[in-house]
Amino acid sequence: MKICEICGKKPLTGRSIARRGMAKKKGGVGKKITGITRRRFLPNLQTLRASINGGVRRIKVCTSCIQANKVTKAA
Predicted local distance difference test score (pLDDT) of residue 43: 97
Q: Where are the domains of the chain?
A: 12-67
What is the assigned CATH class of domain 12-67? Answer: mainly beta
Rounded Cα–Cα distance for residues 58 and 10 (Å): 18
Encode the chain (75 residues) as per-residue pLDDT tens digits.
Answer: 899 999 999 999 999 999 999 999 999 999 999 999 999 999 999 999 999 998 999 999 999 999 999 999 998
- The partner residues of 49 in beta bridges, in order of sequence, read 58
The pTM of the full predicted model, rounded to 2 decimals, is 0.75
